Amino acid sequence: MTNSADHSWTHAGHGLPDSEPSLNTTAIATGLQLPAGFAAIAEDAELGPAITNNLARVEKKLREAIANSDPLADATSRHLVEAGGKRIRPLLTLLCAHLGDASLPAVVQAAVVVELTHLATLYHDDVMDSAPFRRGAPTAHEVWGNSVAVLTGDLIFARASILVSELGSRALGIQARTFERLCLGQLHETVGPRPDEDPVEHYLSVIADKTGSLVAASGQLGAIFAGADEAYEELLVEYGEKVGVAFQLADDVIDVTGVKVKSGKSPGTDLREGVPTLPVLFLRRDAAAGDQSAVDLLKLIDGDLTSDAALAAAVAGLREHPVTAESWVIARRWADEAIAALAPLPEGVVKSSLANFALAVVDRAS
């Protein structure tokens, strides 16, 4: 039997590879740009530097958490982290922590946990959806195959589980229940609605589980580990659930507007893959009610969209159809409800930033 000291691998692949460079949080912080809706944070003399510096710590710890002395596991785990991302979930954790003592070290660790969990689900989602690109780069399964991509997602979630276990049983419970909902959301999306179930209600429940649950957990964990008033937790969960749904609904509409999105996802990808989205569900409803324009457009959408010309025609038709405007109305309603949930919070940059973020998710092009 070979002794572990005879080779460079550490137990279970933990630890940095030999070539891992030192990461400087100051350099990371300098290159960070806050997502749309969070301008008030950057403009605040105290909150701005505090959030930016903690985001840099999160970024550094993310890379440390996924580093692996197994060369293949290290390469596959780094794939999406190095592709970038908005880091919305850890940002919400850090922001909500300012309702208490955001300097407590567990706050940053909680932010790392939610982003690792999100990353793990992306590996799985891309396999399920046969997505060719993520964040402008080829997806992991396109590079290494489905099995390696799924196992990488599992590995990253294992790393998240290690970190959350260090935060205690309550955090572990929140993480476990959130991951259960993430899995159920994917399962329900895969099998579709029951014969007696309303397709729109089914769809909303899917995105509440797949997106809303983790956004909700992000804010909740920030408040918990900053020692914020317990009364804030429930309203942050409600806010997170609703703003998460609004975010996903907006993504759906953006996919059919014909705008090239920054994620690298081409317009109409969901149409071509047959992924249910709110505009198409509304279109099916209208077609079933006898709307001839919906019937005609649905024939195009349900037809062969292999060619770029056919897909472009379907995107253009759906963009101009009233169901797209109706979908925006629904997305904005969820955003408004998220903002309303914040009413009991004290006035200040935290509250205004959360409200502005809710507005920003339904007022964007990508």
The per-residue pLDDT for 9 is: 33
The per-residue pLDDT for 366 is: 54
**DSSP string of 25-45, one letter each residue:** HHHHHHH--PPTT-HHHHH-T
**DSSP string of 55-74, one letter each residue:** HHHHHHHHHHHH--SSHHHH
Length of the chain: 366
User: Side chain identity at 154, as an amino acid letter?
Assistant: D
State phi, psi for 318 to the nearest 5 degrees.
Answer: -75, -35
- 3-class secondary-structure state, position 91: helix
pLDDT, tens digit, for every residue of 235-272?
A: 999 999 999 999 999 988 888 776 655 545 567 888 88
pLDDT, tens digit, for every residue of 327-336?
A: 999 999 999 9
Closest to 285 (Cα-Cα) out of 351, 227, 214, 199: 199
DSSP H/E element including 138: strand 137-138
Q: Domain spans of the chain? A: 35-361
| Count of Cβ atoms closer than 10 Å to residue 261 Cβ | 17
The per-residue pLDDT for 265 is: 57
The per-residue pLDDT for 263 is: 46
Closest to 177 (Cα-Cα) out of 208, 214, 230: 214
State phi, psi for 305 to the nearest 5 degrees.
Answer: -105, 25
| Count of Cβ atoms closer than 10 Å to residue 39 Cβ | 14
Low-confidence ranges of the chain (pLDDT < 50): 1-12, 16, 18-22, 27, 29-30, 263
CB-hemisphere CA count at 13 Å for 8? 9
Please tell me the CATH code under which domain 35-361 is placed. Answer: 1.10.600.10
Report the C-alpha gap between 261 and 271 in whole angstroms.
15
307-308-311 Cα angle (round to 5):
90
The per-residue pLDDT for 267 is: 77
Report the C-alpha gap between 318 and 270 in whole angstroms.
12
Report the C-alpha gap between 32 and 270 in whole angstroms.
30
